[in-house]
Amino acid sequence: MSNRDARLPERLAGVRDRLPDEESFTSPLHSTRTAAILGIALGIAFTTCFLTGLVSHAHQHPPSWFALPSRPAGLYRISQSLHVATGIASIPLLLAKLWTVFPLFWKRPAVAGVAHALERLSLIPLVAGSVFLLFTGTINIAYWYSPMTFFFTAGHYWAAWLTIGALIVHVSAKSSITRLALSARAPDAVVPAGAGLGRRGFLATIAATAGALTLATVGQTIGPLRRLSVLAPRLPDRGPQGYPVNRAFSAAGIAAEDVDAGRFTLTVDGNVAEPLRLTLEDLRQLPQYETTLPIQCVEGWSYSARWRGVRVRDLLAQAGADQGAQATVESLQRGGIYRTSPLNRDQAHDRDTLLALELDGEPLALDHGFPLRLIAPNRPGVQQTKWINKVVVS
Ligand SMILES: Nc1nc2c(c(=O)[nH]1)N[C@H]1C(S)=C(S)[C@@H](COP(=O)(O)O)O[C@H]1N2
Ligand SMILES: [Mo]
């Protein structure tokens, strides 16, 4: 053994002595009580975000055992606005929580028994999953796609299950210490006068940050707050005909002659007695209905508008489809996963499921889907397909 090797254990011990331990972090804000309060806030936000995320996933990947209802018409708007808002509010909460509990990562012994080891191991998926979800959600609504080398919805969805599983383990492991920390009898850390923020001040700062972030984005869906929404990527009153657009006509790869009013035709075929082929003039001659419905983008922004057009159920009846028929609506757009949109029985037969020709009393702008777009109650914006030229009945 060389001299250097002989000194190795000694040198390692030296390094260990220089590492911080739990006591090195002296701020009284690293208290169990602060961690417990932030943990509860984060638990509520994450659970709401998870459940509303499942709703959105179910709309876009309809399960075979459950048909999503077409009512209440504005339900998806509430659910998805909550999803995005709770996700955004979770960012400062998570950062504050990680900062508060950070000294515990240096606690010795690092492992004290099997249960403790498992509880600590579950922190890896919990922290990594939370950071991943909030990061991918944020860059998705900010249209910053380059770091996303995977399909966003699949990655975000599976990470959510992993994170919620780890959260359940974490909450079970911490429930008694949380209860104790919040009980009136628990001694609270005392902040000496002049020593900086106290616990109340710290929590108020975090709450104010979460509130400010919410206000700076929630105007994308709550119209009267739009002036405050400096961080919202889309505003409900900016765009052609006064409404925002995600996929512009120029980005959809559709030839101008395909949407020429004189040449355009809509076909209704598939499982029908009598396939239909209708020109724009034919469609205008059919009974027209008007409805006020929201477009709620999965990214959080939304607006409500007055739509006028032909009922899908009337077209199905005219083509001689079954009472229980379902349908897929197809766009002139050539590629992309959002060029088709499925309607289950309920959705296809709802009186407000329209192929709209007009928005607020005017023909649709090209960017809003001229000549025809789908508009139906209680569904994500990605399923309100534009530039429709085909309905396939099944
Ligand atoms: N054919 C087609 N329709 C589409 C899309 C698309 O990419 N292709 N994007 C959708 C998305 S993501 C949303 S939120 C709504 C937005 O509606 P608007 O652009 O008319 O406001 O349209 C939807 N319709
Ligand atoms: Mo969207």
For residue 24, name the pLDDT band (cuts at 50, 70, 90). confident
Ligand 1 site-directed mutation target among 360, 364, 375, 382, most atoms within 8 Å of CB: 382
Alpha helices in the chain (DSSP H): 3-6, 8-18, 32-60, 75-101, 114-121, 123-141, 152-182, 199-218, 280-285, 312-318, 345-349
pLDDT at 348: 98
- The confidence score (pLDDT) of residue 193 equals 63
Give me the percent of the chain exceeding a pLDDT of 90: 77
Pocket of ligand 1 (CB under 6 A): 243-247, 252, 295, 297, 331, 333, 336, 338-339, 368-369, 381-382, 384-387
State the closest ligand 1 atom to the C-alpha of 369, by its place in the atom list counted from 1.
Answer: 20
Query: What is the model's pLDDT at position 215?
Result: 94
Owner of token pair 């250097």: 4
- pLDDT (0 to 100) of residue 15: 83
Ligand 1 pocket test, candidate residues 246, 334, 337, 359, most atoms within 8 A of CB: 246
Q: What angle do the packed helices 123-141 and 75-101 form, to 10 degrees?
A: 130
Instruction: Give the model's confidence band at 2: pLDDT under 50 very low, under 70 low, under 90 confident, else very high.
Output: low
Of the candidates 378, 330, 336, which has an alpha carbon nearest to the alpha carbon of residue 355?
330
The per-residue b/e assignment along 25-61, b for 16 or more CB within 10 angstroms, e otherwise, is eebbbbbbbbbbbbbebbbebbebbbebbbbbbebbe
Give Cβ neighbours of residue 103 (< 8 Å, ≥ 6 apart): 20, 22, 24, 25, 30
**pLDDT digits over 152-162, tens only?**
999 999 999 99
Q: Alpha-carbon distance 386 to 223, whole Å?
A: 24
Note the pLDDT of residue 194.
66
At 111-131, the pLDDT tens digits run: 889 989 999 999 999 999 999
391 CA → ligand 2 middle, Å: 21
Query: Do the Cβ atoms of 246 and 365 come closer than 8 Å?
Result: no
- The CA-CA-CA angle for residues 356, 361, 366, to 5°, reads 55
Q: What is the pTM of this model?
A: 0.93
Closest CA relative to residue 51, chosen from 77, 32, 79, 30: 79
Task: Name the pLDDT band for 4 (thresholds 50, 70, 90).
Answer: low
**With 70 as the cut, is the pLDDT of residue 392 above it?**
yes
Q: What is the pLDDT of residue 191?
A: 62
The Å distance, Cα 386 to ligand 1 centre, comes to: 6
- Residue 98 CA to residue 119 CA, distance in Å, equals 16
Residue-level pLDDT at 3: 63
Predicted confidence at residue 249, as pLDDT, reads: 96
pLDDT, position 190: 65
Cα separation, 26 vs 191, in Å, equals 11
The predicted-structure confidence for 197-227, as pLDDT tens digits, reads as follows 888 999 999 999 999 999 999 999 998 898 8
How confident is the model at residue 188, as a pLDDT? 65
Average confidence (pLDDT) over 263-291: 98
Three-state DSSP at 376 gives coil
| Residue 150 C-beta-side C-alpha neighbours within 13 Å | 10
Q: Are 77 and 302 in contact (CB under 8 A)?
A: yes
How far apart are alpha carbons 297 and 317 in whole angstroms? 30
Predicted confidence at residue 283, as pLDDT, reads 98
Instruction: Please report, for residues 20, 96, 169, 173, 195, the alpha-carbon distance to residue 179 in angstroms, rounded to integers and kept in the order given.
Output: 29, 20, 16, 12, 27
Q: How far is the CA of 279 from the centre of ligand 1 (A)?
A: 23
**Is residue 343's pLDDT more than 90?**
yes
